[in-house]
Amino acid sequence: MRPIPAFASASVCAFVLSGGFALAAQDVAKSTVPMMREHAPAQAKVFIVSPKDGATVAQDVVVKFGVEGIALAPTSASTPDSGHHHLLIDAKELPPLDAPIPNDATHKHYGKAQTDDTIHLESGTHTLQLDFGDARHMQFDPPLVSEKITIHVMP
Ligand SMILES: [Cu+2]
């Protein structure tokens, strides 16, 4: 039965090479979670183009997302070294790293590769942060996040 194991082994290698996953032996051994995180390219960064940190804005806020060094891709195109933006609103900390990013009013997904959104915020002080995720909505390892900015929303 030589051909079957040889084929299986080759498939695993091809998967690892094409997926860009880090398959360190100790990670596999101690992990109980099948959702492994990808490493982003070293130069990759995400940033909020606008509003600026400390800005005073109206309740309907246009947020523009920036990314460099890694491709922006819709979730339908699961290519290596790519992902999409997530906007974290008033998040005290990052979501758990071992599961997909939650999808709710304070964790917004832009899986069609959008580069901006208009969000509505109550008056007061809020924070915004981008958290880039892969096609499975998993954060990168380490997380690829923007600086967290603070904005003031007018009544
Ligand atoms: Cu997502």
pLDDT, one tens digit per residue, over 86-105 is 999 999 999 999 999 999 99
Q: How far is the CA of 75 from the centre of ligand 1 (A)?
A: 8
Task: Verify cis geometry, omega within 30 degrees of 0, for the bond prior to 5.
Answer: no
ω into residue 51 within 30 of 0, thus cis? yes
Q: How far is ligand 1, taken at its centre, from the CA of residue 13, in Å?
A: 27
- Output the pLDDT for position 34: 60
Q: Dmax over Cα atoms in the chain, in whole Å?
A: 73
Residues 20-26, mean pLDDT to the nearest whole number: 40
Residue 38 falls inside a structural domain: no
57 and 23 inside one domain:
no
* Number of domains making up the chain: 2
Ligand 1 centroid to Cα of residue 8, in Å, is: 31
Residue 107, domain extent: 45-153
Q: Given a cut of 60, is residue 51 above it in pLDDT?
A: yes
Same domain, 137 and 94: yes
Q: Report CA(136)–ligand 1 centroid distance (Å).
A: 7
Q: What is the value of pTM for the model shown? A: 0.78
Please report which confidence band the pLDDT of residue 80 belongs to, taking 50, 70 and 90 as the band edges: confident
Tell me whether residue 110 is in a domain. yes
